Amino acid sequence: MFKHIGRKVRGLAVALCAIGMLGAVGAAVYLYLSKTMQLVPCILIGVGGLVVSWIVSWVMYAIGDTHAKLERLEDKLVPKPNYSAYLAENTALRGTCEICGRITDLIPAKIEDKMGTRYRKVCRECFAASNCKEAE
């Protein structure tokens, strides 16, 4: 849900801009047709709502765009862990079990069940309890 949030914020900015613009025009038309206000204040409400919605969407889109660019920059600059180097040296891979959450030595496991085939890093107890196979 929180991965690649920059794209989601940009999409939300576009959607809220459209909703805000339609709402401003709809409110102005409703106020005029219901004889609540005169024509000039209704036009000012409609135009003002359009402008405010447009400016707010710029700010939201800029935040989302900045975050998306920072994510891309981080992907290029921050090295990803290379687990195969640990396994090649027969060194124990230590971390958090993806099933029970304990911090211990891990085994790369292949789990085949009704959900399909999944690859996880699990502790010895979860490996035995879950009918796992060694991952290649």
**Tens-place pLDDT, residues 59-70:** 999 999 999 999
Final residue belonging to a domain, choices 34, 53, 77: 77
Report which residue type is found at 103. I
Question: Strand ranges (DSSP E) for the chain?
Answer: 93-96, 103-113, 116-122, 133-134
In this structure, are 94 and 40 located in the same domain?
no
Final residue belonging to a domain, choices 77, 92, 122: 77
Residues 6+ apart with CB under 8 A from 31: 37, 41, 42, 45
Cα angle: 92, vertex 94, 97; to 5 degrees: 120
In this structure, are 87 and 70 located in the same domain?
no
Tally of domains within the chain: 2
Report which residue type is found at 108. P
Average pLDDT over residues 23-34: 95
Confidence at residue 102, expressed as pLDDT on a 0 to 100 scale: 86
Q: pLDDT-derived band of residue 91, with 50, 70 and 90 as boundaries?
A: low
Tens-place pLDDT, residues 29-88: 999 999 989 999 999 999 999 999 999 999 999 999 999 999 888 878 877 666 565 555
Structural contact between residues 72 and 66, judged by C-beta atoms closer than 8 angstroms: no
In this structure, are 91 and 53 located in the same domain?
no
